[in-house]
Amino acid sequence: MFRPKRQTIGINMKLVICEKNIAAGRIAYILSGGKSKSTRLGKTPVYEFTKDGDIWKVVGLRGHIINLDFPAEFNRWNKIRPSELIEVDPCKKVTEKSIAASLKSLVDKNPFLIVATDYDREGELIGVEAVELIKDFNKDINQIKRAKFSAITNYEIKSAFEKLEDVDYNLSSAGESRQVIDLIWGAVLTRFISLTSGRLGKEFLSIGRVQSPTLAILVEREKEIINFQPKTFWKIIATLKKEKLFDATHKEGQFWDEKQVTEIFDKIKNCKEASIKKVDKKTLKELPPAPFSTTTFLGAVSYLGLSAAKAMSIAEELYMSGLISYPRTDNTVYPSSLNIKGILQKLSNSQFSKEAKEVMNNGRAYPTRGKKKTTDHPPIHPVGVSTNRKLTSEQQKVYELICRRFLATLAKDAISETVDVSIDISKEEFKTSGYRLIEPNWRAIYTYFKEKRKPLPELIEGEKVEVTKINLKEDKTKPPQRYSQGSLIAKMEQLSLGTKSTRHEIINKLCYRRYITLSPLAPTPIAFAVIDALSDYDVVKPKMTAALEENMDLISDGKKTLEETVTESRKMLRTVMDALEKDKEKIKTSIKNAQREQSTIGKCPKCGKNMIIRTSKMNKRFVGCTGFPECKNTYSLPQQGGIIATTETCSKCNAPVVKVKSKGRSAWELCINYACSAKKPSKKK
Where in the chain are the domains? 13-61+96-167, 177-223+488-591, 232-287+414-476, 294-408, 604-679
Question: Could you give the count of Cα atoms lying within 13 Å of 7 in the half-sphere of its Cβ?
Answer: 20
pLDDT at residue 359 in the model: 95
Which residues does 431 contact at the CB level (< 8 Å), separation at least 6?
Answer: 248, 249, 250, 251, 420, 421, 422, 423
The whole-angstrom separation of Cα 307 and Cα 290 is 22
- What is the structure's pLDDT at 53? 85
Residue 494 confidence (pLDDT): 92
> What is the predicted pLDDT for the residue at 3?
47
- Helix count (H) and strand count (E) of the chain? 19, 23
E-assigned strand segments in 413-552 = 414-425, 428-439, 464-476, 516-518, 521-523
- pLDDT given at position 323: 95
For residues 205 and 512, what is the distance between their CA atoms, to the nearest angstrom? Answer: 11
Task: Report the alpha-carbon distance of residue 343 to residue 356 in Å, rounded.
Answer: 9
The pLDDT score that the predictor gives to residue 4 is 45
Q: What's the confidence (pLDDT) of residue 535?
A: 80
pLDDT of residue 304: 92
Q: 149 and 119 in contact (C-beta within 8 Å)?
A: yes
- Alpha-carbon distance 423 to 436, whole Å? 20
In this prediction, residue 142 carries a pLDDT of 86
The CATH classification number of 232-287+414-476 equals 2.70.20.10
Question: What is the pLDDT at residue 678?
Answer: 59
Contacts of 139 (CB under 8 A, 6+ apart): none
Please choose, from the candidates 209, 203, 161, the residue with its C-alpha nearest in 3D space to the C-alpha of residue 185.
Answer: 209
Model pLDDT, residue 60: 94
One-letter amino acid for residue 25 of the chain:
G
Q: Find, among 630, 530, 511, the residue nearest to 586 by Cα.
A: 530
pLDDT of residue 682: 41
The CATH number, out of the four listed (1.10.290.10, 3.30.70.330, 3.40.630.20, 1.10.3470.10), of the domain defined by the range 294-408:
1.10.290.10
Q: What is the pLDDT of residue 665?
A: 67
Average pLDDT for runs of 10 along the chain of length 685: 44 89 94 93 92 92 91 86 92 92 88 94 94 92 93 93 95 94 92 83 80 94 91 97 95 96 95 96 96 95 91 94 93 92 94 94 93 88 85 94 97 97 96 96 93 92 96 95 94 90 91 85 86 81 87 92 94 89 84 76 89 83 89 87 81 87 72 74 40
Residues annotated as part of the active site: 326
pLDDT at 229: 92
Write out the DSSP string of 565-594.
HHHHHHHHHHHHHHHHHHTHHHHHHHHHHH
CATH class of 13-61+96-167: alpha beta
- 177-223+488-591: CATH topology is Topoisomerase I; domain 2 (1.10.460)
Smallest CA-to-CA distance from 124 within 102, 144, 106, 97 is with: 144
Question: CB of 494 within 8 A of CB of 542?
Answer: no
CA-based nearest residue to 298, from 118, 19, 493, 124: 493
Question: Is the entire prediction scored with pTM above 0.75?
Answer: yes
What per-residue confidence (pLDDT) applies to 291? 97
Nearest Cα to 398, choosing from 506, 328, 320, 305?
305
What does the pLDDT read at residue 202?
67
CA 220/CA 222 separation, integer angstroms:
5
